[in-house]
Structure 1
Amino acid sequence: MTLSSDGEQVGSAQADGGGAFTAPVQFSRIEPGRHTIVASCGVALTGVVDQAVTSSSGDYSSTLVVLVFFVLGGIVFVRFAY
Structure 2
Amino acid sequence: MGGTVADADGNFSAPVEFTRIRAGRHEVTTECGVKLAGAVDQIVTSSTGGHSSTMIVLVFFILAGVAVIRFN
Q: TM-score, normalised by structure 2?
A: 0.52
2:36 pairs with 1:45: yes
Aligned-pair CA distance for 1:18 = 1.6
Q: Which amino acid aligns with 1:43?
A: V
Between the two proteins, what is the percent identity of the paired residues?
A: 55
1:34 is aligned to: 25
Residues of 1 paired with 2:4 and 2:42: CA distance?
20
2:1 pairs with 1:19: no
Aligned-pair CA distance for 1:23 = 2.4
2:53 is aligned to: none
| Superposition CA RMSD, Å | 2.1
Q: TM-score, normalised by structure 1?
A: 0.47
Greater gyration radius: 1
1:61 is aligned to: none
Aligned-pair CA distance for 1:29 = 1.5
